[in-house]
Structures are given as structure tokens and as C-alpha cells.
Amino acid sequence: MSTERDDVLHSWCVQADWDAPTIVGGAGAHFFDAAGRSYLDMSSLAECTNLGHQHPAVVRAIKAQADRLCFVTAAWGAEPRAALARALLERSGFEGGRVFFTLGGADANEHAVKFARQAGARPRGLVVTRERSYHGASYATMALSGDARTATQVDPDAFGVVRVPPPYAYRCPFGTDDPVDCGERAARHVGEAIDRAGAGRVAAVLMEANAGTNGIVAPPNFWPRLRDETASRGVYLIADEVMSGFGRCGEWFAWQRHGEDGRPDLMTLAKGLTGAHLPLGAVVLSRDVAARLEHEMLYTGLTYCGHPLACAAGVAALQAYADERLIERSRTLGAWLYRELGALKARHAVIGDVRGGDGLFAVLELVADRASRAPLAPWPQTPPPLRQLLRRALDAGVSFATRGNLIIIAPPLVIAERDLADAVALLDRLLGETSWS
Ligand SMILES: Cc1ncc(COP(=O)(O)O)c(C=O)c1O
């Protein structure tokens, strides 16, 4: 009899290499396989199960909505859709704005670009994005992303994309060792890129506000400076909060760390929006952007825009974040985690840099040589000793995520303190036992 291994085309892997256990259940920060093994989820799977697995209130809300109404298109009203839009506008302080619902992060980013172009009357306006960024794997979002893995598949010029270097302080493309200077120069460079293209031809700047798949966490001065550079040129700023939202970076939305100085014109959401219990994405538009679209025809849509079941999951998820004070919890545990990872760095020369710590999101960048910062493997390859470390962690019942030379630590915000401490202790041991050369 054939199995999933034979029949399913799996993403981001070589098919012949895929050989994963079948997961049959979960609770809190753990999930369980068909053989009865339990795994501590140190990456919230794809940095999306922020509420943990099978959050009871979210599961209850999905069941209740399924009993009442599974689906109606956006041509009709739906109670959970209205409730979720209201809750998002309130949480983000985008009063007077509007919410467009999608099925995930990539289509949220595509639609944010469409809306920015339409609102700014620049239908084919340029979009400035970062090298080493990830905004999705549809064609348009591959073009928007600065991702080495997919770079050959798409022509960014054809999608009107202009790339700029990232605020990657550890390897600053602007040649400075000072993180604040790196953030300043990276933001200034965006302004210069807009000027070079001509501000009237640029529809938007799209960037991750903090956490992202490529493991770069910008210095804190970057985002507010980016806001200045875009606002002063009349260019919309789109915050991709698909990963950084919903407590991952210690705030509901990562830009909120900078208060009003960080407020974007549009932001995109997915992942933590339902805690991944059902697929859902969203674009939140400011009052100004929404007003510009108010009397214009919107030539776009998705059959499942604002699906009632997914929106009911979203309403329950937002309630759970608030009821269980998970945003604050992420901030507190994130600060603890960051300190502990700093201590690991002092013990293990293979750790070149520790980033993050605003919430339960942290990145360890591994190096072959700390003094020269030589990477263990050329980006985006994952070095074999790191693969081996992951396998051993999995054998010990802990699932860590890696990308290239990075270990990304982003557990569900509900993780027990004891589990978090045990996972860090395991990492400490395995880093010491692995032969890195
Ligand atoms: C920052 C960011 N934007 C967009 C996406 C794409 O989201 P989706 O996979 O739901 O299309 C991701 C997914 O990892 C992401 O991390």
C-alpha cells in the first residue's frame, strides 16, 4: 500500500528525502506522532502555532461555527468576519481603516501591494523590498522576496520590484560594525533608492517589521527611520507581520514597539492570526488608504475571502491571546530566553551572533570562526553538523527549526517555563557534543 511519502508532493524538500512521522495530535507546546512519541515544538512548526496545538477555546469556536454556518462568500455578510475585522482594527489602532481577508501570508502580501498601488494611483508602481527577505512562495511574492532559494524562478523587474540591502547588523552590507549605524544606513538607503527611481513611480516599501524567515532582526532604530524615509516621500509602508505578529515579537504587532513612530500604512497578517488552527491571512489598511479605495471598484477577490470558519478561529485566537496575557508572556519569556542564549554564546565558540529577544523569537547564527565571522556553510545551505544536532534533538523529543546556519527558536507562547529551560539545556549539551569542524 502506498503512503504519504509516495503520494504527496511536499514543500521545501527533495521528495525522495521526505520521511517524516505522521502527527496525530497535540496539546500546548507538544505534538504527538502515530507511534505515540511526543515532541516539544521549539519553532511553533512554521512559526505559526503561537497558541500551542489544539487550543481548546479555538477548537470549540471552530466547532460552534461549523454547526451554525460553514461558508458564505464575501458578497454576503458573516458574523465572525465582521467581528474579526473589528477586533483587528481595535488591536492595531487602525480605527477607520478596513481589513481584507486572504487565505495566508503570500496572498496577503500580494493584495497589500495591489491596494497600495490602487490607493496611490500608481497601478504598476514599483515596490521596494529587502534582499534576504521572505514574503511567500507565489510568483509575485517570490519576486518580492529576496530569497536565494527561489531567485532563479522569477524576474523581480517584471513585477516592478526594487531590492535594497538588509539591516543585517552582524554582517552589515554598509560596512559598519555599529548596529545603530547599520540600521540608520539601511533606512537611508531605502530613501535613496526611492529617490533614484523617482518617488512618483514607487507605490510601496514592503518589509518584515522584525522576525522573518531569513533570520535577520533589524536594529531597533531601523523601523522608525524607515517610516520617516517613506512618509517624507509619500510612499506607503507595508509591514509584513505574517511571522512577527501576534506576540511573536512581544507586541500584538512588531511595529507597535515603536509606538506611532512605527505605524505602517498597511500591514499583512497570517500564521498567528488563527494560531494556525485554520488557514487565514489579512491585510489591514489605514484609514487613509481605505478612504482612497472607498468609492473605487476593487477588482480582486478570492473565493474563500473571510471564510466564516477561519474567521471564527481568528476571533477565538485573539480572545485567547488577551485572556491568557500571552503577548506579555512572550515578552517576559523572550527576555529570559535571550539572556540564556547569550550565556550559551559565552560557552560555545560556534555561536557567532544571538538576535531577537523582543518576544519568543530568537536566532543563533553559527560560524566556523568567530573572529572572522566566516559562516559554517554558504547561505542558504545547512551545514551537516547542524543537521546532525537537529536529529539528535529530535531523538530527545525536541523539534528545533534551522535555516542555513541559523537555529531559529520560536516556541508557542504557551510553552511551560520548565519545557523552555529544558530545551535550552538540551541545546547547550548538543552544541558542546557536536563536532563542528
Ligand atoms: C514574513 C512572512 N511573510 C509571508 C509569509 C508567507 O506566508 P504563507 O506561507 O502563509 O503564504 C511567511 C511564511 O513563512 C513569512 O514568514
Digit-by-digit pLDDT tens for the chain (437 residues) are 889 999 999 999 999 999 999 999 999 999 999 999 999 999 999 999 999 999 999 999 999 999 999 999 999 999 999 999 999 999 999 999 999 999 999 999 999 999 999 999 999 999 999 999 999 999 999 999 999 999 999 999 999 999 999 999 999 999 999 999 999 999 999 999 999 999 999 999 999 999 888 899 999 999 999 999 999 999 999 999 999 999 999 999 999 999 999 999 999 999 999 999 999 999 999 999 999 999 999 999 999 999 999 999 999 999 999 999 999 999 999 999 999 999 999 999 999 999 999 999 999 999 999 999 999 999 989 999 999 999 999 999 999 999 999 999 999 999 999 999 999 999 999 999 999 98
Which of 266, 271, 408 to probe ligand 1 with, by most ligand atoms within 8 A of CB?
271
Angle between helices 417-433 and 326-347 (to 10 degrees): 20
pLDDT for residue 62: 98
Residue 206 burial (CB count, 10 A): 27
Ligand 1 centroid vs 153 CA: distance in angstroms?
A: 18
What is the torsional sign of CA 302, 308, 312, 318? positive
Mutate which of 48, 50, 134, 268 for ligand 1 pocket (most atoms within 8 A of beta carbon): 134
Q: What residues are in contact with ligand 1 under a 6 Å CB criterion?
A: 46, 104-106, 109, 134-136, 208, 212-213, 240, 242-243, 270
What integer pLDDT is reported at residue 212 of this predicted model?
86
- Cβ contacts of 141 within 8 Å, gap of 6 or more: 106, 109, 110, 135
CB burial string 231-261: b at 16+ within 10 A, e below:
eebebbbbbbbbbbbbbbbbbbbbbbbbeee
In which residue are the cell numbers 518584515 written? 208
Query: Is-contact 215 148, C-beta < 8 A?
Result: no
Q: Which domains does the chain have, with CATH numbers?
A: 4-54+325-433 (3.90.1150.10), 58-323 (3.40.640.10)
* Cβ atoms of residues 364 and 383 within 8 Å: no
CA of 132 to the centre of ligand 1 (A): 13
At 33, which helix (H) or strand (E)? strand 30-33
Tell me, what DSSP letter sits at residue 273? G
Looking at 174-276, which runs of residues are DSSP E strands?
202-208, 236-240, 266-269
Ligand 1 center to 227 CA (angstroms): 22
- Cα 90 to ligand 1 centroid, rounded to whole Å: 23
Cβ atoms of 82 and 54 within 8 Å: the answer is: no
What local confidence, expressed as pLDDT, does residue 213 receive? 86
| Angstrom distance (rounded) from CA 47 to CA 360 | 10
The residues pairing with 32 across neighbouring beta strands, listed in sequence order, are: 25, 38
Minimum-distance ligand 1 atom for the alpha carbon of 279: 10
User: Rounded to the nearest whole angstrom, what is the distance from the C-alpha of residue 135 to the centroid of ligand 1?
Assistant: 5
CA 210 to mean position of chain CA atoms? 8
The predicted structure's pLDDT at residue 1 = 85
Q: What is the pLDDT of residue 396?
A: 98
304-327 pLDDT, tens per residue? Answer: 999 999 999 999 999 999 999 999
